[in-house]
């Protein structure tokens, strides 16, 4: 950040407010030590440093974020938004709602390169007049799996070997080859769509299916999509390697500096709407997050736009501690029965209670901007605003005849889905694992398809032959040419790797460099 030369500087104090006169030297007996034990400033400084980091996110650890606003069009396409949802965030053309966004990669650790081939997280928190709404999405519109039960195994397989801590594509493709529903997502991920050029130049999507509920309590199924006004830009593997060799934080830097320059990135929000139901006319299940909803049948309808015009002032407080969840909905929105969505809704707040603490919702970036009045208090680091809570704080329970908080009046009928089916543990009956994967393959531009085959061949040539065969089978089921080209690519790469092994290791010989210790 640019600094003024003569700016007035404040005095350093301890966390107890006492001015610090020496921040360079320990208190010692004589100038060479030993150090004394009662050195309060040192002990506090060091012990706070020892606790500076909170656990990083178990997924999406590497990320950055910014603040801005959402402006509603008050309409869904040409229709009034109230036809579909009573959520106030969408009503009243031109109304602005403050928000924050966090973008991320998924598998890498907190400081990992931002050029990784990985889905990108696109999480938005809107501070609406009716409480917070989180739309926790990704850049790609679909996902690897369709049942939350598989998520912990999937992430284990995608991360480094737990014994050696070495990343190994065999692990990822071992899992994927036994999960044919991932064929579609793998097709996007290994094409250039798997490495967006920057966060500003990527789309976002809610991925899972949600519901909108109107004033009559009627619901429709809905999918959300963010479209960048800056355009979409993706990288080839070679471009990504080049950037990574020079900068491991290029996407964070790009977003931050663009906002500093006053080039505020903007996205338009679209929804796809489908009548709630089984939809037997479709060859996929509308609740299956490995599928796209075809645009010609379910058009993208604009509902508003988002502008990011403010950088964080403290990365840890505002971005690292930001906590999003799929359960964070407002009146006028509801869950669909998408099995991933339901599983996710447990996971987010559960991990945040561990990662940030029981009172993570009191951290300013997570707290709603409307008044919170709850009897859920106490716990570590409870620092509620005394002006919030109850006007009668001694009645910290509900119901009560004598005081305390009261339930809100129900202003519109609830959406009440009804069920009549046996409980079971079974996959869905319309998996159709390959149809859309083939379509996506054929829809790619020529250069994107070439990249896809080359990237898959590179990575699969490092895998066990059984895994190679299984993956070629899946790609062939999606499209005969797709499978054949990956097979040929693996054979070619395997031969190239054999030839390379015969070449010498790079590095200078001993004797050509300076010597320390024995240094032979
Ligand atoms: C982050 C779980 C699927 C998008 C996380 C976190 C967990 C998690 C535990 C870390 C949250 C935190 O520490 O604050 C799961 C589970 C899933 C699932 C159990 C499936 C059952 C998905 C899907 C998407 C997604 C399908 C895309 C729509 C994200 C994003 C973040 C995230 C964007 C980062 C949020 C942030 O920036 O703080 N997920 N996830 N996840 N997940 Fe998922």
Parallel, antiparallel, or unpaired: how do β-strands 210-213 and 333-335 relate? antiparallel
Nearest residue (by CA) to ligand 1, atom 22, is 344
Which residues are annotated binding-site positions for heme?
A: 348
Based on its alpha-carbon atoms, the radius of gyration of the chain, rounded to whole angstroms, reads 27
The per-residue DSSP string of 360-396 comes to GGGSTTTS-SSPP--S---STT----TTSS-SSTT--
**How far, CA to CA in Å, does 424 sit from each of 118, 277, 288, 486?**
33, 20, 18, 38
Which of 304, 338, 370 marks a domain boundary?
Answer: 370
- Within this chain, do residues 73 and 48 fall inside the same structural domain, yes or no? no
Sign of torsion, CA 245 251 255 256? negative
Taking the CA of residue 207 as reference, the ligand 1 atom at the shortest distance is 28
Q: In terms of Cα–Cα distance, which of 437, 356, 467, 477 is closest to 186?
A: 437
Q: What is the DSSP string of 273-314?
A: EEESS--TTSSS-TT-TTSPPPTTTS--EEEEEEEEEE--S-
> For position 244, which CATH number holds?
2.40.180.10
Which candidate, 267, 333, 269, 302, places its Cα nearest to that of 78? 302
Q: Which two tokens stand for residue 357?
A: 């603490």
Number of H helices and E strands in the chain, helices first, is 12, 12
Spatial CA neighbour of 118 closest among 60, 201, 56: 60
DSSP state of 410: P
| 108 located within any domain | yes
Q: Is residue 208 part of a domain?
A: yes
Please indicate, yes or no, whether residues 214 and 298 belong to a single structural domain of this protein.
yes
146 and 32 within one domain: no
Residue matched to tokens 């990288």: 235
pTM of the model: 0.95
Q: Are residues 40 and 119 in the same domain?
A: no
Whether residues 211 and 247 share a domain: the answer is yes
Q: Which of 370, 402, 430 is the last residue of a domain?
A: 370
Q: Phi/psi of residue 258, each to 5°?
A: -60, -45
The answer to whether residue 225 is domain-embedded is yes
139, 29: one domain: no
Range of the domain at 46: 25-54
Q: Which one of 59, 143, 151, 360 would you pick to mutate in the ligand 1 pocket, going by the greatest count of ligand atoms within 8 A of its CB?
A: 59
65, 120, 258, 502 from 247: Cα distances, Å: 18, 18, 17, 31
**Residue 394 lies inside a defined structural domain of this protein:** no
Domain check: are 50 and 67 in the same one? no
Please check whether residue 395 lies inside any domain of the structure. Answer: no
Antiparallel, parallel or unpaired: β 219-228 and 266-275: antiparallel
HSE-CB of 243 using CA atoms within 13 angstroms: 22
Token pair for 61: 């650890």
Same domain, 141 and 87: yes
Alpha carbon 438 to chain centroid distance?
27
Residue 465 lies in a domain: no
CA geometry: angle at 251 spanning 195 and 253, to 5°? Answer: 165
- Note whether residue 274 is domain-resident: yes
* Per-residue confidence in pLDDT tens, the chain, 520 aa: 566 667 789 999 999 999 999 999 999 999 998 999 889 899 998 999 999 999 999 999 999 999 999 999 999 989 999 999 999 999 999 999 999 999 999 999 999 999 999 999 999 999 999 999 999 999 999 999 999 999 999 999 999 999 999 999 999 999 999 999 999 999 999 999 999 999 999 999 999 999 999 999 999 999 999 999 999 999 999 999 999 999 999 999 999 999 999 999 999 999 999 999 999 999 999 999 999 999 999 999 999 999 999 999 999 999 999 999 999 999 999 999 999 999 999 999 999 999 999 999 999 999 999 999 999 888 999 988 777 777 788 998 999 999 999 999 998 999 999 999 999 999 999 999 999 999 999 999 999 999 999 999 999 999 999 999 999 999 999 999 999 999 999 999 999 988 887 776 777 776 777 778 876 5
Q: Nearest 10 degrees: CA dihedral of 213, 217, 218, 221?
A: 30
Is 31 found in the same domain as 88? no
Do residues 247 and 319 share a domain? yes
- Residue 127 has φ and ψ, to the nearest 5°, of -90, 80
ipTM: 0.98
> Does residue 162 lie within any of the structural domains?
no
Domain co-membership, 105 together with 42: no
Q: Of the residues 370, 396, 429, which one is the last residue of a structural domain?
A: 370
Which token pair is 241? Answer: 């390697």
In the structure, which protein residues have their CB atom closer than 6 angstroms to any atom of ligand 1? 57-60, 63, 102, 104, 121, 123, 136-138, 143, 148, 151, 207, 322-324, 340, 343-344, 347-348, 351-352, 355
- The total number of structural domains in the chain stands at 2
Q: Are residues 257 and 302 in the same domain?
A: yes
């Amino acid at each position: 950040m640019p600094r003024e030369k003569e700016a007035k500087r404040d005095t350093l104090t301890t966390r107890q407010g006492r001015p610090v006169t020496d921040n360079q030297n320990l208190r010692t007996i004589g100038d060479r030590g030993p150090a004394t034990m009662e050195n309060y400033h040192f002990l506090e400084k060091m012990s706070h440093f020892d606790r500076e980091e909170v656990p990083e996110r178990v997924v999406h650890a590497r990320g950055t974020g910014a603040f801005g606003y959402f402006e509603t069009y008050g309409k869904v396409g040409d229709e009034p938004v109230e036809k579909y949802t009573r959520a106030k965030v969408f009503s009243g053309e031109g109304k602005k709602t403050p928000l924050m966004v966090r973008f991320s990669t998924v598998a890498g650790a907190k400081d990992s390169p931002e050029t990784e081939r990985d889905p990108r997280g696109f999480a938005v928190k809107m501070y609406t007049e009716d409480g917070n709404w989180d739309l926790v999405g990704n850049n790609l519109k679909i996902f690897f799996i369709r049942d939350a039960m598989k998520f912990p195994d999937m992430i284990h397989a995608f991360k480094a070997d737990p014994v050696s801590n070495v990343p190994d594509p065999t692990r990822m493709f071992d899992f994927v080859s036994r999960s044919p529903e991932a064929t579609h997502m793998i097709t996007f991920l290994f094409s250039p769509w798997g490495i967006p050029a920057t966060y500003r130049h990527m789309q976002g999507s809610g991925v899972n299916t949600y519901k909108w509920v109107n004033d009559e309590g009627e619901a429709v199924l809905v999918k959300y999509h963010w479209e960048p006004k800056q355009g979409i830009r993706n990288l080839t593997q070679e471009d990504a390697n080049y950037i990574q060799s020079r900068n491991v934080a290029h996407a964070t830097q790009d977003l931050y500096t663009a906002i500093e320059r006053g080039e505020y990135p903007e996205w338009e929000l679209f929804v796809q709407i489908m009548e709630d139901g089984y939809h037997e006319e479709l060859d996929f299940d509308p609740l299956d997050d490995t599928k796209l909803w075809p645009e010609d049948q379910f058009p993208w309808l604009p509902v508003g736009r988002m502008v990011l015009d403010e950088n964080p002032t403290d990365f840890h407080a505002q971005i690292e501690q930001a906590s999003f969840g799929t359960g964070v909905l407002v009146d006028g929105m509801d869950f669909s029965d998408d099995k991933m969505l339901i599983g996710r809704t447990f996971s987010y707040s559960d991990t945040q209670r561990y990662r940030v603490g029981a009172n993570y919702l009191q951290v300013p970036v997570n707290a709603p901007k409307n008044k919170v009045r709850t009897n859920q208090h106490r716990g570590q680091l409870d620092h509620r605003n005394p002006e919030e809570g109850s006007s009668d704080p001694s009645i910290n329970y509900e119901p009560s005849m004598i005081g305390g908080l009261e339930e809100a009046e129900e202003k519109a009928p609830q959406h009440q889905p009804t069920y009549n089916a046996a409980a079971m543990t079974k996959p869905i009956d319309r998996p159709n694992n390959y149809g859309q994967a083939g379509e996506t393959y054929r829809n790619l531009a020529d250069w994107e398809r070439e990249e896809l085959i080359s990237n898959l061949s590179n990575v699969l040539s490092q895998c066990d032959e059984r895994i190679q065969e299984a993956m070629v089978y899946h790609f062939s089921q999606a499209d005969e040419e797709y499978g054949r080209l990956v097979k040929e690519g693996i054979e070619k790469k395997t031969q190239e790797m054999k030839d390379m092994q015969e070449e010498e290791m790079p590095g200078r010989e001993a004797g050509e460099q300076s010597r320390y210790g024995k240094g032979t």
